[in-house]
Amino acid sequence: MSEKIQEQISAFLDGELPANEAELLVHRLSRDEAMHAKARSFRVIGAAMRNELLQPDPHVLRRRVFKALDGDPSSERLVAPPAWTPLRLARPIVGLAVAGGVAVMAILGLQNIAPQSPAPTTGALVADGGERAPPATYVVPQEPAAASIVQVPIRLTNYLVNHGEYASGLRRAAIHSEIVGYQSDADREDDATDREAP
Amino acid sequence: MPPTAKHLSITMPSLWPAVGALALAVGPLLAFAQSPQDWLARMAEAVELLNYEGTFILMQEGSVESLYIIHRHEGGKVSERIVSMDGAGREIIRHEDEVTCILPDKRSVLIEQRKDVNPLLSALPNYSDKLEQHYAVALSRRGRVAGRMTQVIRIQPRDSYRYGYRLWLDEATAMPLKSQLKDENDEIVEQILFTSIAMPEFIPQAALEPTIDTAGFTWYRPRTNGASPQTGAVAWRAAQLPSGFELSASTVKVMAGSEYPVQHLVYSDGLAAVSVFIEDPKTDTEPMAGFARMGSANAFSLRMRGQQVTAVGEVPRRTVESIATSLTLTPENNAR
């Protein structure tokens, strides 16, 4: 993908691409999956940089759509029907494509927050061999005691931790949550007491 | 906690007419992005590659726990910390090469080294036609979770050897904001629901460090540096597997608290996974036998040829039992 195309995508997502170029770009995006993916990653970076992911502004998308339509970001234009003139008739044809592109990007985008990061199937998580300095709170492990052969509940937990590492990202997080959220024996006893209470 | 992305849910309805009118103009793009497979692929990437932190509720077996998760992806490395906000107050911290599980109720800390990171990636769901032989994957309605609009995806198993899923994926990021794990009777086994979520650009290292004072705890960590090469002329393998399950990983490692290598096999159908652990029973003070359950995971243990065998996975009991009981020793060259 040429640098010029990347600049066009970036300008498009910022609402700064001229309408005629935007129309051509939307057409290309609809046919080129690589460009589509690049546009989505640009979109999420832009959103992150603008802090939209954290502190969303309800008018951001509306402003961008209308800016792309006719350069007027005022929200009033959203509800005011356009004058029915040939000039006004032609404008939405270009604007439709732009608005569609922006809307679809907004709906479907935000996939990859780091474009330089490889996709999971290409080894995104491969360690680089660097040493990580663990936090001081748990870098001072005690030597396992002589009688530290694990008990069954610990062994099962250990199995589950190891199992979780081979689950998908979603399930791994869920499995870890189960380990963390697992009720203690004391909680279970309390629950049982509550159930037995009149 | 910052407010959630309400603007998406507020603004989107006003855009739907435009989207509808423009379907012809961007039809191919829309179709590409709307397939359930595409949603699931995006979800798998989002869960790993986005930075996020939030509070969620875990509901299972009549219990409700609130937890806090911090997930960071930086420089190709993933770190994650999950903290129980009530209950036992457990924490689990995962860095790219190590998993630390702090169990205050057991006054224990488990540390597992992760020597081989690639199997995790290879175990990511592969949403292919093959997967659809065993699950029906479909888009369902849209809904709102934590103030954000979501697309609901239904994944229904075609037999009783695996669980089904219902996922509420954030329309903007494909992050699963709510998920349900359903058993063969369509009963909810586990439900996870984000009550708030933020996706900061940067997460500091300090946010990933544990807060529990572990003084006096027993630490379990591998005595050696994790995996040792598998040796010998024979290997344990499941002779009979539920349809669609295949061996996706096989390692031998010295696990925390053990003195001897444990063989770890992973069987997956592309979505569900079952781990089988085979170890010398003398590493246990008491044998394990029969079924056990931990959260939505089922485990089945038995003794076989003098070895302690345990199959564990978020699958129905019959699946872990059938895999564990079918284990057999196979010549190494045929062990696939």
Given this model, what pLDDT does residue B76 score? 83
C-alpha A159/C-alpha A170 separation (Å) is 18
The contacts of residue B11 (CB under 8 Å, 6+ apart) are: A58, A59, A60, A61, A62
- Tell which wins on pLDDT, A131 or B291: B291
Q: Chain centroid to CA A159: how far?
A: 31
Partner-chain residue, chosen from A119, A143, A167, that has the shortest CB–CB distance to B45: A119
Q: Is the pLDDT of residue B129 over 70?
A: no
C-alpha B86/C-alpha B67 separation (Å) is 8
Confidence of residue B171 (pLDDT cuts 50, 70, 90): very high
Closest chain A residue to B120, measured at CA = A166
Closest chain A residue to B125, measured at CA = A168
Our CA-based measurement puts residue B165 at a distance from the nearest CA of chain A, in whole angstroms, of 11
- Tell which wins on pLDDT, A113 or A157: A157
> What's the sign of the alpha-carbon dihedral B246, B251, B255, B261?
positive
Partner-chain residue, chosen from B50, B192, B223, that has the shortest CB–CB distance to A177: B192
Reduce the DSSP state of residue A114 to 3 states and report it.
coil
Reduce the DSSP state of residue A23 to 3 states and report it.
helix
Whether residue A160 and residue B32 make contact (CB cut-off 8 A), yes or no, is no
Residues of A in contact with B271 (CB under 8 A): 168
Chain B interface includes A92 (CB < 8 A)? no
Given this model, what pLDDT does residue B245 score? 93
Q: Residues B264-289: what's their mean pLDDT?
A: 82
Q: In what order do the strands lie in the sheet with B148-157?
A: B135-145, B148-157, B164-170, B176-182, B188-198, B52-60, B63-74, B77-84, B91-95, B98-103, B108-113, B218-220
Reduce the DSSP state of residue B148 to 3 states and report it.
strand
Segment B194-203, tens digit of pLDDT:
888 999 999 9
Whether residue B220 and residue A124 make contact (CB cut-off 8 A), yes or no, is no
Our CA-based measurement puts residue A151 at a distance from the nearest CA of chain B, in whole angstroms, of 7
In eight-state DSSP terms, residue B227 is: B
C-alpha A39/C-alpha A44 separation (Å) is 9
* Residue type (1 letter), B176: P
The contacts of residue B13 (CB under 8 Å, 6+ apart) are: none
Q: Do the interacting molecules here have an ipTM over 0.90? A: no
Given this model, what pLDDT does residue B53 score? 92
* Residue type (1 letter), B298: N
C-alpha B264/C-alpha B255 separation (Å) is 10
Query: Which two three-digit tokens encode residue A105?
Result: 């990007």
The C-alpha angle with vertex A191 and arms to A190 and A196, in degrees rounded to 5, equals 95
Whether residue A124 and residue B76 make contact (CB cut-off 8 A), yes or no, is yes
Strand partners, B103: B108
Q: Determine which of B44-53, B130-139, B248-257 has the lowest per-residue pLDDT on average.
A: B248-257
Segment A37-81, tens digit of pLDDT:
555 545 544 443 443 333 333 333 344 444 444 444 343 333 333
- Rg of chain B on CA atoms, in Å: 22
Q: What is the pTM for the complete model shown?
A: 0.59
Our CA-based measurement puts residue B176 at a distance from the nearest CA of chain A, in whole angstroms, of 8
Q: Is the pLDDT of residue B160 over 80?
A: yes
Query: Which two three-digit tokens encode residue A180?
Result: 């963390």
Chain B interface includes A45 (CB < 8 A)? no
Closest chain B residue to A105, measured at CA = B172
Mutate to test the interface with B, among A107, A128, A185 (most CBs of B within 10 A): A107
Q: Residues A103-122: what's their mean pLDDT?
A: 28
Residues of B in contact with A99 (CB under 8 A): 15, 18, 22
DSSP per residue, B177-209: EEEEEE-TTS-EEEEEEEEEEE--S---GGGGS
CA dist B324 to A14, A171, B59, B274, Å? 56, 21, 28, 10
In eight-state DSSP terms, residue A120 is: G
Given this model, what pLDDT does residue A69 score? 41
**Mean pLDDT computed over every residue of chain B:** 78
CA dist B67 to A47, A187, B58, Å? 27, 16, 7
Helices (H), strands (E): how many in chain A? 9, 0
* Residue type (1 letter), A75: S
Q: Residues B90-106: what's their mean pLDDT?
A: 85
Q: Is the pLDDT of residue B163 over 70?
A: yes
Segment A132-178, tens digit of pLDDT:
333 333 333 333 333 334 455 567 777 877 787 776 666 666 776 66
Segment A7-37, tens digit of pLDDT:
676 666 656 677 777 767 766 766 666 665 5
Given this model, what pLDDT does residue B280 score? 82
Q: What is the dihedral of CA A127, A49, A75, B148, to 10 degrees?
A: 30
Given this model, what pLDDT does residue B22 score? 39
C-alpha A94/C-alpha B333 separation (Å) is 64
